[in-house]
A and B are shown apart, each in its own frame.
Chain A
Amino acid sequence: MVDAALSAAAGIFEPVHLLLLALGVFMGLTLGVIPGLGGIVGLTILLPFVLEMTPHAAMILLIGMVAVVTSSDSIPAVLFAVPGTVAAQATIMDGHPMARKGEAGRAFGAIYSASMIGGVIGALILALAIPIMQPLVLSVGAPEFFMLGLLGISMVGVLSGRFPIRGLMAGFAGILLSMVGMDPQTGILRWTFGLPYLWDGIPLVPAVMGIFGLPEIVEMAIKGTAISEVPRHAIRGVREGIRDTLRNWGLVARCSVVGTWVGIIPGLGSDVADWLAYAHTVQSSSGRENFGKGDVRGVIGPESAANAKLGGSLIPTIAFGIPGSMQMILFLGAFMMLGLTPGPDMLTKNLDITFTIVWSVAVANVFGTILLLLFTSQLAKIAQVRIHVLAPVMISIVFLAVFVSTNDYGDLYTLLAFTCLGWCMKIGNWPRPPLVLGLVLGPIIGKYLFISVQAYEAMSWVTRPGVMLIMLITVAGLLYGFIQQGRVRKASLT
C-alpha cells in the first residue's frame, strides 16, 4: 500500500501530469467564479477529451478541475452575495458582510486557506478510509439521517438572526416549498398547479439566487455605493485571514470531517455540507450574535467542509461504485470509459490509480490556493467599484446563470418570485438561511422519514439510540438557542 502511495506521488509530479493538473485547476477556478457553472459543466466538457488519455492522466485532469471549483466559487459569493456554485451558499452569510466592512481580502485569505486545509483533510480521510468505510456507512440508518436533517434546520433556524420563531418558521416553510413537485415515494403531484415545470420541484439555483443574490444587488443599488462600505485603505489583508484560519484550526478540522462525512453519504450535495458546517460553526462558537454580520468563522467552517466533501464523495464512488451526486455520476462515467471498475479492483489491482486520485485532490487544492492567493488583492478591489457599474453585469449574470441551470424560462419566473420573497424577508429582518436549508434538506428529510415509517413497525424507529441521542441534542439546542436569543434581546433593550 505504501509503495503504491509513493509511486503515485512520484507519478503526479511528472512534467506532463503537472501540466494537466495545472490545466484542470485553472479551468476549475474559472468555472467556479462564474455563477451557474461548476464541476458538472467542467466534467461534461472534459469527458470527451480524457478518452484518449491514460487513466492516471485523465484522473489528474478531472480531479484537478473538480477539486478547486469549491474554492473559487466563494469569490462572487463574498463580493456580490451570488454563490458561484451551490457549495458557496452559506459562505454568503458572513463573507458578504465582511466584504461590505472592507474585509474582502481577509475573507478571501480565510476562505482559501480553509478550503486548502479542508481539501487536504478530505484527501487524507479518503486515503485512510476506503478499507474501513463500508461498515461505518451501513451502521447509520434512515431514522438517524432524518433526525440529522431536522437537527441542521432547527439549529440554523434558531441561531440565525434575533428571532428564533421566525427562523424556525422559515425552515419549515423551506421544507414545505421543497415538497412542490412529484412525491418520489408515491408519485403524487403536490402543488404543481398543472405546470409540468414544477413536476421536478422548485429548482434550487433560481430560488437561492432570488433569496440571496438579487436582493443584495437591489440593496446595494438603492444605497448607490460600492460593495464595500469603507474606503480602499481600510481593506484588511489576506494574511490576517490566513491567521484566522490557523487560529481556528479546531473548527477547520471539525468542519472538514463534517464535509467528508456528508460526501460519503449518497444523495447529500455540497450545499448540505456547506450549511451543516455553518450550523455546526454557529452552534459551537462563542459570540453567536456576530454571525451573519461578518464573522470570519462563518466562512472558515463552510469552506473547509465544501472542499473536504470531494474526498468523502469519492469514497463510495471508488470503493462501492455508488455515486452520491451528479458530479460523481459523471466521474463514474469517466471510470467506465477508461476501463476502470469501481470496487475491490480499485483497492488491489488499481490501487496506484486510487492513490493518484488522492494525491491529485491534495495537490490540486494546494496549487489552486496558491493561484487564488496570488490574485486575491486584485479580486478584493472589485468590492470598491461603484455599484452602478457592476449592477447591470451582476443582474445579467444572475439571469444567465439561472437560465443555464435547466434551460427553462420557468426558472426566470421562479427567480423573480423568490427575489420578491427574499427582498421582503430582508427588509423585514427575517432570516433567509433556514428557508434555503429547508429547500435543500426537505427532499432528503422526506425520503428518510418515509423509509423510517415504512421500515419500522409503528413508530419504533424513534426509540433507536442514535435517533434519541440526536433528538436530545436537537431539543437541547432549541432550548439553548431560545434562552440565548432572549438574553441577547434583553441586553440590547437595556
Chain B
Amino acid sequence: MKFGIEAILSFVFGSMFVFGLLSSWGWPSGTRFFTLSVAVPGLLLSLASLVVEIKKGSKGRETATHAGNHARGGMEETRRRTATIFGWILGLFLLIRVLGFELAVPLFTFLYLKFQAKENLILSSSITFLMVLIVVGLFDFVLNVPWPKSLIEAVMP
C-alpha cells in the first residue's frame, strides 16, 4: 500500500507526540502537565488524521505535487528541478561552512546566475557586486556582524 505525503506527515507528527509523551515521563509534574496537555490531544488528532488518510487511500488523495501541478514538463521535470534547487541551497550552506559568508554568498550568487540561470556575464557580475556590497558594506561595516571562523580559516593559520 502506497502512502501519500499527507499520511506520512500525520505519522511524523504522531510520532513527535508519542516521543513527547514518553520522554516527559520522569519530569516534574509542573513541566509534564503542559507536555501532556499538548501531546495527548495532538496524538488523538494524529490518529484521527491517519485513519482518514488511510481510508482515503490513493482514491481521493490531495495532490502530493503541489508545485508539480504548475511546472512545465510533467513530474519528471518537476522532480529534477526540485532536486536542483535543493542542491543549490545545500551547496550554499556547505560553501558558508567551508568559506564563510563573505566569500560564499558572492560566489554562490555568481555561480547560480552564470550556470543555473545562464545569465550573461554583465548581469551576473553586477548582481554579485550587489551581494558583495550587502555582505561587506551593510553586514560587515555598518552592523559589525561578527562572522565566525569558516572551516578553511580554522584549518589555516
Q: Which residues of A contact B (CB under 8 A)?
A: 34, 37, 41, 45, 163, 165-166, 168-170, 172-173, 175-177, 179, 183, 185-186, 188, 190-191, 214, 217-219, 221-224, 386, 388-389, 391-393, 395-397, 399-400, 403-404, 407, 409, 412, 416, 419, 424-430, 445-446, 449-450, 453-454
Chain A's closest residue to B30 (CB) is A186
Measured in the bound complex, the distance between the Cα atoms of B134 and A34 in whole Å is 10
The reply to whether B34 and A449 form a contact with Cβ atoms under 8 Å apart is: yes
Measured in the bound complex, the distance between the Cα atoms of B123 and A34 in whole Å is 22
Measured in the bound complex, the distance between the Cα atoms of B30 and A185 in whole Å is 8
Measured in the bound complex, the distance between the Cα atoms of B41 and A450 in whole Å is 18
14 further A-B contacts with Cβ under 8 Å, apart from A222-B82, A409-B97, are: A41-B143, A45-B143, A166-B49, A170-B13, A176-B38, A186-B31, A190-B31, A222-B85, A388-B113, A388-B116, A388-B117, A392-B112, A392-B117, A427-B66
Residues in A neighbouring B16, C-beta threshold 8 A? 173, 176-177
Which single member of A170, A191, A419 contacts B23 (CB below 8 Å)?
A: A191
Chain B's closest residue to A218 (CB) is B85
Q: From DSSP, what is the main secondary structure of chain A's interface residues?
A: helix
Q: A427-B67, A428-B64 are in contact. Are A172 and B17 (CB under 8 A)?
A: yes
The reply to whether A397 and B134 form a contact with Cβ atoms under 8 Å apart is: yes
Residues in B neighbouring A223, C-beta threshold 8 A? 67, 70-72
B54 CB-CB contact with A under 8 Å: no
Measured in the bound complex, the distance between the Cα atoms of B146 and A449 in whole Å is 38
Measured in the bound complex, the distance between the Cα atoms of B117 and A395 in whole Å is 14
The reply to whether A393 and B5 form a contact with Cβ atoms under 8 Å apart is: no
Please give the distance in Å from B43's CB to the nearest CB on chain A. 9
The reply to whether A188 and B31 form a contact with Cβ atoms under 8 Å apart is: yes
The reply to whether B108 and A392 form a contact with Cβ atoms under 8 Å apart is: yes
Chain B's closest residue to A214 (CB) is B89
The reply to whether B20 and A176 form a contact with Cβ atoms under 8 Å apart is: yes
Q: A392-B127, A393-B131, A428-B62 are in contact. Are A404 and B139 (CB under 8 A)?
A: yes
Q: A169-B46, A429-B62 are in contact. Are A396 and B85 (CB under 8 A)?
A: no
The 6 tightest CB contacts between A and B, nearest first, are A172-B42, A388-B117, A392-B112, A428-B5, A169-B45, A221-B85
CB-CB contacts below 8 Å: B36-78 with A: 37-39, 41-42, 45-46, 48-49, 52, 62-68, 70-72, 78
Residues in A neighbouring B109, C-beta threshold 8 A? 392-393, 396
Q: From DSSP, what is the main secondary structure of chain B's interface residues?
A: helix
Please give the distance in Å from B97's CB to the nearest CB on chain A. 7
Residues in B neighbouring A446, C-beta threshold 8 A? 34
Q: A399-B92, A428-B62 are in contact. Are A392 and B17 (CB under 8 A)?
A: no
The reply to whether B41 and A392 form a contact with Cβ atoms under 8 Å apart is: no
Q: Which residues of B contact A (CB under 8 A)?
A: 4-6, 8-10, 13, 16-17, 20, 23-24, 27-28, 30-31, 33-35, 37-39, 41-42, 45-46, 48-49, 52, 62-68, 70-72, 78, 81-82, 85-86, 88-90, 92-93, 96-97, 101, 105, 108-109, 112-113, 116-117, 119, 123, 127, 130-131, 134-135, 138-139, 142-143, 145-146, 148
The reply to whether A399 and B93 form a contact with Cβ atoms under 8 Å apart is: yes
Measured in the bound complex, the distance between the Cα atoms of B45 and A88 in whole Å is 29
Residues in B neighbouring A449, C-beta threshold 8 A? 33-34, 37
The reply to whether B145 and A407 form a contact with Cβ atoms under 8 Å apart is: yes
The reply to whether B48 and A185 form a contact with Cβ atoms under 8 Å apart is: no
Q: A222-B82, A224-B81, A392-B127 are in contact. Are A412 and B96 (CB under 8 A)?
A: yes
Residues in B neighbouring A177, C-beta threshold 8 A? 16
Which single member of B28, B68, B70, B78 contacts A186 (CB below 8 Å)?
A: B28
The reply to whether B81 and A221 form a contact with Cβ atoms under 8 Å apart is: yes
Residues in B neighbouring A185, C-beta threshold 8 A? 30-31
Q: A172-B41, A173-B42, A190-B31 are in contact. Are A428 and B81 (CB under 8 A)?
A: no
Residues in A neighbouring B81, C-beta threshold 8 A? 221-222, 224
